[in-house]
Amino acid sequence: MCGKVVGMCDVTSILARADVRRVVDMSCAIVTSRYDVPLIYRATDMSTSGLWATTSKPLVQGEVVVACFQPRGWSRELQVFAEVVRVDQGPDRGMGLSFLDLTVDESFRLSMWLRGRREARPRGAEQLGAEGPAAWALRTAIAV
């Protein structure tokens, strides 16, 4: 059953997620070697592992960038190396960035900041039905 793909949604990646994604709405500057100026995106969900940036012009999957953002209430901006790990040109247009070098302290502070926020809806959930991806995956695994 490992890696079963349904539509555009890899069930294994949904079930294997270690960090809960939380809804955010903040500006995120992305610094890349391909442009002279930072590119400004909107981060719409985040975990201590990474973030989702909405855009109609995502970067190239595999590209390593610097993500710069300042959670509300923080005294300074967080700058972290990140890899573009997912690109979606469909209805959820944007790109997923995986953080590469958060320190233990930054990870802890970010987890505390995210803690009270609403859980983000899994990407591709509309393809899985109203029951949600975990229930769908378990029902499907049992049925097979």
What is the full per-residue pLDDT of the chain (144 aa) written as tens digits? 344 444 444 444 444 455 788 999 999 999 999 998 999 999 999 999 999 999 988 999 999 999 999 999 999 999 999 999 999 988 879 999 999 999 999 999 999 999 988 888 776 644 444 445 555 445 434 443
pLDDT at res. 128:
46
Please give the model's pTM, rounded to 2 decimal places: 0.72
CA 126, distance to chain mean position in Å, is: 17
Indicate the DSSP class of residue 121: P
- CATH code of 20-119, in short, is 2.40.10.220
CA atoms within 13 A on the CB side of 94: 17
pLDDT at res. 119:
87
Task: Find residue 50's DSSP bridge partners.
Answer: 98
pLDDT at res. 126:
42
Q: Which among 5, 4, 19, 39 has a CA at the least distance from the CA of 110? A: 19
pLDDT at res. 43:
96
